Structure formats: structure tokens, C-alpha cells
Homo-oligomer: A and B are copies of this chain.
Amino acid sequence: MSQAVFTTTEPVIDRARRAGRRPGRRTDMITGMEALDRDVWRMTIKDPFAAQEAHPGSFVNLYPADSMTLLPRPLGISRVLDGGQIEVIFGVVGKGTREFSELRPGDSVDLLGPLGKGFDLGGAAHYILVGGGLGVPPLIRAAQAIRGMEGAQSTALLGYRNLHFADRIVERLVDDLRSISNDHGDVITLLDGVESGIDPSNTVILTCGPTPMMEAVASWAGKRSIPTQCCMESRMGCGYGTCVACVVDTVNGRLKVCKDGPVFRAQDLVWKDGGR
């Protein structure tokens, strides 16, 4: 189970489409690897299907090669690049991400996706992207999409532990970028800083980061009646909706992060239990 049956991307994608299906797990080629920070990596992968189908907020499952670690590692798609490539940005937190960090261009990695229901980008509005640390990647894809929307405006407010590893990528995609490190404050500091320039009736907040951060953002936005969408995280068994392992508590019951989400409207979330 450590490697998919299919070792080239195109055939499985083609065959799946011919059969009227989505392609299952497949083995893709890594086209780029770059360290953005100590233990934060940017990886690009050739997968035309994922590149074509990725919405802002979509993620892919990557699978470690070793059989001791079989479960999927969900990673947000941070950008879609030319030539059928997707980009992910990940931190090394455990065995799987450590293994990924040791891969190099030309190596292969197993992938499933794109997965999940992404951000709902209704139309022209002022989008405020509020990200924390490794929650930034899905917001980059959102920035990429918003940039192509006529009349839309974007502000990115990013909080980091140390190095501002994503700023270089984000700054080219948004109208305004402000970022902050832990020792200087957090994203609420940044929100307070831009509040005066915001028209709540025309603003949408998209946020992704640690659950307590998103809860604070949702509470800040709630008080100001700014609609907010949260990109949630949960331990997953499958990532494609079959096992019900990844639920968050919502006002509509326990919903799957991987298929009903990962993006949920802030007002639908019940923070207490989902926050673990």
C-alpha cells in the first residue's frame, strides 16, 4: 500500500476520465523543492488533473512511502502553476512531512486529489485573508483566484512564529500584505490595524491557521458582522469522505472536514469541541 498501482500521472487520469471517474491514488513526479524556512518547504508536483481541478481551499493527500506511515498527509494547494503543476507548502512536524522534506526534483510521491470544498468566492468584494503559520498555503491559492476576479480587492494579514516564509509569494498576489511575528503580536493586532479601512458590508474574511486563532478571528469578525470562512484542520483517515474520521462540530451536526469542508462558515462552527 506504500505505492500506488499507477506510476505515471497521465494514464491514470486519462483512464479515469474515460471511465467517467476521478483518478484514484497515483504516483506523481516532483518538479521543485525549496526550503522557505528551517523545516518549511515548498514543493511543486506535476499533476495536470489536480492543477485543473484545484479550487481555493482544496487540498491533496500526499502519502509517505514507508509502510509504517500509511495514512494520508493532507496539504493545502498553495498555487496552481504552469504545465499542470501544483504547489504545496508544508512544515516538518512528524515522520511523514520529514520524509517529504527529503524528496528532491525527479523523485516521486503518491497523491490523491484535489479534495475538499474550498472557499466560496462570491464575486467582487474586499477579501481579507487572515493566515497563521502553516495555515497560510490555502490562502495563497485564494489570493491567486481573487487576483483574477474583476473588482475584487485583497488584503493579506499573516502571523508567523519566526521567519515570514510566505511573504515573498503572497506579496505578488495581493493588494496589501501585512505580516507579524509572535513576539510582536498576532493576527488580531493586524486586523485591528486595518479595521478603519474596512467596509463590513463589502468585506469577506477568509482565514486558515490554528483553531484558537481562527476562533479569535471569527469572534472579531462576528462582532463587526463581517462574513467569515474558516479553513479547518482535522486528523484524517481517508481525506475523500468515506470514513467519517475527520469531523468538526457545526450547528448542522458533525460534518466531514475533508468533504463538507475544509472550509466552513464561521457562524456554522461550534468551537468548543472542534478545537482539539
Return the chain B residue nearest A68 by Cβ.
Answer: B67
Tell whether A107 is near chain B: CB-to-CB under 8 Å. Answer: no
Tell whether A52 is near chain B: CB-to-CB under 8 Å. Answer: no
Tell whether A199 is near chain B: CB-to-CB under 8 Å. Answer: no
Contact with B along A66-87 (1 / 0, CB 8 A): 1110000000000000000000
* Size of A's binding interface in residues, CB under 8 A: 5
User: What copy number does this chain have within its complex?
Assistant: 2
Tell whether A8 is near chain B: CB-to-CB under 8 Å. Answer: no
Tell whether A2 is near chain B: CB-to-CB under 8 Å. Answer: yes
Distance in angstroms from A54 CB to nearest chain B CB is 31
In the bound complex, what is the Cα–Cα distance between A66 and B67 (angstroms)? 6
Residues of B close to A68: CB separation below 8 A? 1-2, 67
**8 sampled A-B residue pairs with Cβ under 8 A:** A1-B68, A2-B66, A2-B67, A2-B68, A66-B66, A66-B67, A67-B67, A67-B68
**Could you say which of A1, A2, A67 has the most chain B C-beta atoms within 10 Å of its C-beta?**
A67
Return the chain B residue nearest A2 by Cβ.
Answer: B66
Return the chain B residue nearest A3 by Cβ.
Answer: B66
Residues of B close to A67: CB separation below 8 A? 2, 66-68
Residues of B close to A1: CB separation below 8 A? 68
Distance in angstroms from A4 CB to nearest chain B CB is 14
